[in-house]
């Protein structure tokens, strides 16, 4: 409740994809309320020792960052 999605993107080497291109692609593939409020490019995502994405670290890092979006 009260949360809105943001999209964290790790670009592949030599990729020049833009947030506008990603948003355009998503608009034709997902429901409007699933569209992220922000698209953030990051160097890497944190992982657990078993290789799973460490979602708790991401929630802590970005909690409140886009609260008024």
Q: What is the pTM of this model?
A: 0.79
* pLDDT tens by residue, 48-67: 999 999 999 998 998 876 65
Q: For the chain, give the percent of residues with pLDDT over 70.
A: 90
Q: Which helix (H) or strand (E) holds 38?
A: strand 38-42
For residue 69, pLDDT beyond 60: no
What confidence category does residue 4 fall into, taking pLDDT thresholds of 50, 70 and 90? confident
Please write down the HEC assignment for all residues of the chain: CCCCCEEEEECCCCCCCCHHHHHHHHHCCCCHHHCCCEEEEECCCCECCCCCECHHHHHHHHCCCCCCC
Residue indicated by tokens 């020792």? 49
For residue 46, pLDDT beyond 60: yes
* pLDDT tens by residue, 20-29: 999 999 999 9
């Amino acid at each position: 409740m009260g949360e809105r999605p943001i999209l964290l993107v790790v670009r592949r080497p030599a990729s020049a994809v833009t947030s506008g291109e990603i948003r355009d692609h998503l608009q034709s593939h997902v429901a409007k309320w699933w569209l992220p409020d922000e698209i953030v490019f990051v160097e890497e995502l944190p992982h657990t020792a078993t290789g799973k994405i460490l979602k708790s670290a991401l929630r802590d890092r970005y909690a409140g960052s886009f609260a008024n979006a």
